[in-house]
Structure 1
């Protein structure tokens, strides 16, 4: 199953809540420099759908969108906490949902890594970094 079928999500402060009804077409991990700047991390993790429906349950007036001047690159976020939230792009034809904004499980696995030619130089070492269940202890 690819779908969201009633996926729920929110921003970090809880002001914005939303539902997504329908299926996701793809789940890409984008390593372009703009997505790295958006997330402050190695990549953005976004779900895409041309058919799913986004409903703002609360906080729609707290959603702001930033577009990088001279590009098509956009990001929507909560004005209270700055957390990434869904955005409708391409004149309403494409729903983009930051995977980390969802509060419910999704069944679709990542489709692939994109824009890897623009990945951070340290990205390749991520799989070898130690893993901790919580914060590492004092050293």
Structure 2
């Protein structure tokens, strides 16, 4: 059985996920752009994996956008995105909160009609291994 470990930015919340991910979507919808502050969200999904909080579960809070299926969990101290289980038992895990490698490649880009105008030119931006001088 595969075990993935993750945490929040401040280290208060730690968790393990036991099981496999079914899909890995890069979502470009306006809701995901707003809640990540970026061009898209990168979320892993599983119908069968189990989420086990190892530390800081009381620091986890959630928000559900009214009249939508959009919800997110996050650390109330640092704001880092964290896993959540939706009503249908679907586990949603923000890929960036994992501390262990993700073996599954992204399944698809979704809601690309809402794609940020600047996203297609990202590849042309210069790259630095650290902060630019």
- Normalising by structure 2, we get a TM-score of 0.97
CA distance in 2, matches of 1:109, 1:10: 21
Secondary structure (helix, strand or coil) at the match of 2:17 reads strand
Give the distance between the partners of 2:23 and 2:67, measured in 1 at CA.
26
> 2:2 corresponds to which residue?
5
Aligned to 1:97, what secondary structure does the other structure show? strand
Query: 1:95 and 1:64 mapped to 2: Cα distance?
Result: 16
SS at match of 2:131: coil
Length, aligned pairs only: 133
Q: Following superposition, which runs of at least 4 residues in structure 1 exceed 4 angstroms of deviation? A: none
Q: State the alpha-carbon separation in 1 of the partners of residues 67 and 25 from structure 2.
A: 23
CA distance in structure 2 between the partners assigned to 1:32 and 1:131 by the alignment: 26
Structure 2, gaps ≥5 residues long: none
Q: Which residue of the other structure, out of 96, 105, 129, is the alignment partner of 2:101? A: 105
Deviations 1:89-114 (A, max 9, x none): 024x2000000000011211111111
Report the aligned-residue RMSD.
1.0
Q: Distance in 2 between matches of 1:130 and 1:34?
A: 28
Given the alignment, which residue of 46, 51, 54 partners 2:48? 51
* 1:86 maps to 2:90: no
Alignment partners' CA distance in 2, 1:106 and 1:122: 27
Q: CA–CA distance in 1 between the matches of 2:87 and 2:110?
A: 19
User: Which structure 1 residue ranges, 5 or more long, are not aligned?
Assistant: none
Partner of 1:19: 16
TM-score (norm 1): 0.93
Distance in 2 between the 1:18 and 1:60 partners?
A: 9
